[in-house]
Amino acid sequence: MGTVLGDVLGFAAGVAISPLPIIAIILVLATPRGGLNGLLFTVGWILGLSALGAVMLAIDSPAGASTHNHPATWVGALKLALGVLLVLFGARQWHRRPKDPSQAQLPKWMGVIDRLTPIKVLGLGTALAALNAKNAPLTIAAGATIGSAGLPVGQEIASLAIFVLIATLGLLAPLGVFLLGGKRAETTLGSWKDWAAQHNVAVMAVLFFVLGLKLLGDGISVLTS
């Protein structure tokens, strides 16, 4: 299990260091029911990651993801495809990055966050976790890695839970500041939001490249061993 956790740690960190969800939860925390909405957003995020990871584990078992404790060929092909996808995303993001970070613009949907109902906030957290162009491939890759390790079911579930916990740290940090930071929380979160907004595209591009290359290496290793 320790080896598997080492393999998925990078994927979890990649999900956690995701500027857009961090900006989103900071905006959610600034709403009139900030504490409740922030908790709902985080719960939705956890549900989204857990559901996608669980689906991957459910597919892995009957599909024979592990053969004699070695990842099956299709797992290697999947990681190779995900790696190519992330590298292409990284190239696209890098090409789109603004030359002047101060001119960076947030997605238009963020402008309506303050008008969302609690249920919609929960759904937004779920969607950003499970449907995000970066998070989904990384969560799928983590699920495939866990499912192809030949672990007992209990250890698979524990590994997925640890992945989800680490992947949620990026949201738990601003939520903790909001709940415990007192009067300084607004200033702190505002500075975090501004930095993340300015450097979102560049950060995403680098993460896409690094994690995409890791997946390419993992896929090639499985297919050639």
pLDDT tens digits for 101-110? 666 677 788 8
The partner residues of 67 in beta bridges, in order of sequence, read 70
Q: What is the pLDDT of residue 184?
A: 87
Residue 10 tokens, joined = 């990078």
Q: What is the pLDDT of residue 168?
A: 96
Q: What is the pLDDT of residue 29?
A: 93
The parts of the chain modelled with pLDDT lower than 70 are 1-2, 60-71, 101-104
Q: What is the pLDDT of residue 193?
A: 87
Q: What is the pLDDT of residue 41?
A: 97
- 169's enclosing H/E stretch is helix 169-180
DSSP category for residue 84: H
Q: What is the pLDDT of residue 176?
A: 94
Total-model pTM: 0.82
Q: What is the pLDDT of residue 66?
A: 53
Residue 98 CB contacts under 8 Å (≥ 6 apart), including other chains: 104, 201
CA distance 114 to 32: 8
Largest CA distance in the chain: 57
What tens digit of pLDDT does each residue of 177-214 get? 999 988 788 889 989 888 888 877 788 888 888 888 88
For the CA atoms of 155, 158, 162, 163, what is the dihedral angle to 10 degrees? 70
Q: What is the pLDDT of residue 124?
A: 95
Using CA atoms, how far residue 22 sits from 18, 30, 194, in Å, is 7, 13, 11
Residue 206 CB contacts under 8 Å (≥ 6 apart), including other chains: 90
Residue 210 tokens, joined = 């690094």
Residue 114 tokens, joined = 């303050």
The partner residues of 71 in beta bridges, in order of sequence, read 66
CA 107 remoteness from chain centre:
18
CA distance 4 to 166: 14
169, 92 Cβ separation under 8 angstroms: no
